[in-house]
Chain A
Amino acid sequence: MTENEEYVEVERDEFRAYCVSLCAERAVMLRLMFAVDERATDNCFKVYAVFSGQNKDTFYIPFFKIKEDDPKYQSITDCVPAAHWYEREIRDMFGLIPEGHPDPRRLVFHESFPADSHPLRKDWKISETDLKEWGEGVVKKVPHDFLKVEGKGICEIPVGPVHAGIIEPGHFRFSAVGETIINLEPRLFYTHKGTEKLFESMSFFDGIKLAERVSGASSFSHSIAYSMAVERMAGIKTIEKIKAIRTFLLELERLYNHIGDIGYMCAGTALMVGQAKGALIKEKLLQLNEKLTGSRFLRGINKIGGVTKDVFLQKFEISETIDMVEEEFKDLLKLLLGQAIHVERLTGTGRLPKEIAAKLGVTGVAARASGLSDDIRKSHPHLFYYKLDLKTYTRTESDALARMMLRADEVECSLSLIRALVRRRYYGNICVDVGEIPPDSFALGYTESPRGSLFYWVKSDQDGKPFRVKLRSPSYCNWPAVPYAIPGNIVPDFPLCNKSFNLSYSGCDM
């Protein structure tokens, strides 16, 4: 347990009231919610909820115990709407039932997965035939019900899971009148790979490789959040040099993602020249990544207790590329904002109202473009962010253009942060001594990935092996908000809205 985590045990029946009063009194939002199977030691499951706000660097973590023979608790979704996916996930994974939850459907597993089978329980087993039928799509129980929109002239458009472009799989069900969308219902978790269960079967040191492969474009953020959780749990203190290198690489990741996203949004408006220019700049940054770390996606550079390479030895290459990128990015932005067609398509498209974003606990670019100043680098300073002049940009228009412009602002900010980091001198080694992982301890790790806040919660067992690793990627809490931004838009604008959020399917599906 570490200094900014406040664990409070509450009774099962008081949990809901406690969460409500916490939200009201401290102006906090739900960051993540998860369960742990502690039947072997405590003869119960534990359900944790992590809250934190923008003003204070404290995580409030109420938790309650729940017995196996009475696996029911009162749902908090009606008063904390951000909890609705977490509760459904806990129901799928542990079989703990949130009473009064508005959505009785499964979240993670599709209809061919056997009922009453909960993979994250420690004693979970599944037969070969069940696994085979799961893959073959044999429907076990009632099929997944999509919300039916009825009326004259309403048609349903099913899209996916295999899409036209080179993107990840997900199913979208549009109900539309002519071109205008009335309702959108996404169905995800096609790329569910059992990541959290897999973490439990490897050591904490190998886990970093898996964390890097949860979501491709935010590989480094995932490895940082994971290593931070493990380091906090084991009481490993890193030195300034390591922090600076990690911060630098995080900003580099943000840079290539944001510029790539801005360029990629042009694909939604068929502005090919913008797309090509964006891809060119992104390619330059990816090649810089490769030069610095050996991996275009910054994999293999981070490890528990440090980094594997001192990237600041190549200061000249860094500043050369950064200068070039800045210049070309200015050109790109000038080009995009000079294209009336592009700007008009983006204006007013995919509007996500602030109230809905706040209620659903939306994070990252989507939250900041809707007027919420949500930035975990600012509210919970970590790594080298204490010493940097970090600005949190917000916009109030809350449409696709706002999300694009916000990314452009953050690119500027990242460029200046990178310059500030490269200018300093650092001394010491690039890794510190890592001792044994202490048994029966737990901690939270977090960082701001290009898509938003990212959390890992790790717990070790009696031998210092992983007992539970919970990860929450920013896409997981942003996906439920997407259907609220779509109605009223036309079907051809959906890819544009989707690209303006740019959410990861793999990070969400785990």
Chain B
Amino acid sequence: MWLEILNNVRSRKKAIKFPKTFQKSPDEVIETVTPVKKMNKVFGKSLRIRQVDAGSCNACEWECNMLTNPIYDVQRFGVDFVPSPRHADVILATGPVSRQMELALKKTYIAMPEPKLVISCGDCALDGGIYKGSYATRDGVNNVLPVNCHIPGCPPPPKTIVKELLKLMRGISSGSYPPKGS
């Protein structure tokens, strides 16, 4: 039995067979950027994300939701979304930070245990994007929380989000992302 499992692991049998219509298996994309060993060393195979919508149009949320579907299955990298900020290592904020949501975003950040990281996700989280200059927004997460990493795109496709998350993990282990918040 052990031999069989070992062979399976060696030949990298995939649980899901990708239909032809998918352009490229996300595995292929991800394997080129994954420093799996290093990531494991730093996070012990776990990065827990608290996603907060700070005024996004909901497209980023849908893409984050798609991360947990059987195609991207982000949990296999040890990345998962958690309900409580108390369980989170990372806050992933989307949207330009509407003023009515600013306080809730800050409170969520404060509720997280140290050390903690902030990721801004989507173009309007960078500098307000299309909502830049509106009276009701703060023009980006950077103006409210110390952002460590940004995921570009409007909305960023799941592939990009996974890539950037894994890059962040690699970055931390090599010391290029000092957590500003702590």
Question: Which residues on B sit within 8 Å (CB–CB) of A168?
Answer: 53, 56, 58, 61
Contact with B along A276-293 (1 / 0, CB 8 A): 100110111011101100
Question: Which residues on B sit within 8 Å (CB–CB) of A189?
Answer: 100
C-alpha gap A289/B60 in the complex (Å): 16
C-alpha gap A283/B22 in the complex (Å): 9
Q: Is B140 an interface residue (CB 8 A)?
A: no
The residue from B57, B64, B84 contacting A166, defined by CB atoms under 8 A apart:
B64
Q: Is A296 an interface residue (CB 8 A)?
A: yes
B69, A136: Cβ atoms under 8 Å? Answer: no
C-alpha gap A260/B85 in the complex (Å): 27
Give the B interface residue count (CB, 8 A): 51
Q: Is B177 an interface residue (CB 8 A)?
A: no
A505, B58: Cβ atoms under 8 Å? Answer: yes
The residue from B53, B62, B65, B103 contacting A191, defined by CB atoms under 8 A apart:
B53
Tell me how far the C-beta of A300 lies from the nearest C-beta in chain B, rounded to whole angstroms: 9
Q: Is A43 an interface residue (CB 8 A)?
A: no
Question: Which residues on A sit within 8 Å (CB–CB) of B154?
Answer: 213, 299
C-alpha gap A297/B63 in the complex (Å): 10
A216, B56: Cβ atoms under 8 Å? Answer: yes
Question: Which residues on B sit within 8 Å (CB–CB) of A282?
Answer: 66, 69
Tell me how far the C-beta of B33 lies from the nearest C-beta in chain A, rounded to whole angstroms: 20
C-alpha gap A193/B96 in the complex (Å): 8
Tell me how far the C-beta of B158 lies from the nearest C-beta in chain A, rounded to whole angstroms: 8
C-alpha gap A260/B58 in the complex (Å): 14
The residue from B22, B61, B83, B131 contacting A164, defined by CB atoms under 8 A apart:
B83
B134, A137: Cβ atoms under 8 Å? Answer: no
Contacts A162-B104, A198-B134, A216-B57 given; indicate if A287 touches B83 (C-beta within 8 A). Answer: no
C-alpha gap A293/B56 in the complex (Å): 22
Q: Is A392 an interface residue (CB 8 A)?
A: no
Q: Is A75 an interface residue (CB 8 A)?
A: no
Question: Which residues on B sit within 8 Å (CB–CB) of A287?
Answer: 21-23
Q: Is A349 an interface residue (CB 8 A)?
A: no
- Among residues 178 to 227 in chain A, which have CB atoms less than 8 Å away from a CB atom of chain B? 189-195, 197-198, 201, 209-210, 213-217, 219
The binding surface of chain A is classed by DSSP as: helix
B100, A126: Cβ atoms under 8 Å? Answer: no
Q: Is B98 an interface residue (CB 8 A)?
A: yes
- Among residues 35 to 82 in chain B, which have CB atoms less than 8 Å away from a CB atom of chain A? 51-66, 68-71, 81
C-alpha gap A126/B98 in the complex (Å): 16
Contacts A135-B103, A283-B69, A287-B23 given; indicate if A192 touches B136 (C-beta within 8 A). Answer: yes
Question: Which residues on A sit within 8 Å (CB–CB) of B137?
Answer: 193-194
Contact with B along A352-375 (1 / 0, CB 8 A): 000000000000000000000000
Q: Which residue of A is nearest B61, CB measured?
A: A166
Tell me how far the C-beta of B69 lies from the nearest C-beta in chain A, rounded to whole angstroms: 4
Question: Which residues on A sit within 8 Å (CB–CB) of B124?
Answer: 213
B130, A210: Cβ atoms under 8 Å? Answer: yes
Interface centre among A216, A217, A288 (most CB of B within 10 A): A216
Tell me how far the C-beta of A138 lies from the nearest C-beta in chain B, rounded to whole angstroms: 10
B56, A191: Cβ atoms under 8 Å? Answer: yes
Contact with B along A475-508 (1 / 0, CB 8 A): 0000000000000000000000000000011100
The residue from B61, B84, B103, B133 contacting A136, defined by CB atoms under 8 A apart:
B103
Q: Is A157 an interface residue (CB 8 A)?
A: no
Q: Is A167 an interface residue (CB 8 A)?
A: yes
C-alpha gap A290/B23 in the complex (Å): 10
Q: Is A134 an interface residue (CB 8 A)?
A: yes
Q: Is B19 an interface residue (CB 8 A)?
A: yes
B136, A193: Cβ atoms under 8 Å? Answer: yes
C-alpha gap A136/B135 in the complex (Å): 14
B69, A191: Cβ atoms under 8 Å? Answer: no
A276, B136: Cβ atoms under 8 Å? Answer: no
Question: Which residues on B sit within 8 Å (CB–CB) of A210?
Answer: 130-131
C-alpha gap A291/B22 in the complex (Å): 10
Question: Which residues on A sit within 8 Å (CB–CB) of B83?
Answer: 164-165
B21, A215: Cβ atoms under 8 Å? Answer: no
B108, A162: Cβ atoms under 8 Å? Answer: yes
Question: Which residues on A sit within 8 Å (CB–CB) of B54?
Answer: 169
Question: Which residues on B sit within 8 Å (CB–CB) of A198?
Answer: 131, 133-134
Q: Is B167 an interface residue (CB 8 A)?
A: no
Tell me how far the C-beta of A178 lies from the nearest C-beta in chain B, rounded to whole angstroms: 23
Q: Is A258 an interface residue (CB 8 A)?
A: no
The residue from B59, B62, B81, B134 contacting A197, defined by CB atoms under 8 A apart:
B134
Contact with A along B149-167 (1 / 0, CB 8 A): 0000011010000000000
A-B contact pairs, 6 of them (CB 8 A): A169-B104, A191-B53, A194-B134, A210-B131, A280-B70, A284-B22
Query: What 20 additional pairs, Cβ within 8 angstroms, besides A191-B98, A193-B136, A213-B130?
Result: A110-B100, A134-B99, A135-B99, A135-B103, A162-B85, A166-B61, A168-B61, A190-B55, A191-B55, A191-B56, A194-B131, A194-B136, A209-B130, A217-B58, A219-B59, A260-B62, A279-B65, A280-B70, A287-B22, A506-B56
Q: Which of A's residues lie within 8 Å of B, judged by CB?
A: 109-110, 119, 126, 131, 134-137, 161-162, 164-169, 189-195, 197-198, 201, 209-210, 213-217, 219, 260, 276, 279-280, 282-284, 286-288, 290-291, 296-297, 299, 317, 320-321, 324, 504-506, 509
Q: Which 8 A-B pairs have the closest CB atoms?
A: A216-B59, A164-B83, A279-B69, A194-B136, A216-B58, A137-B103, A194-B134, A135-B102
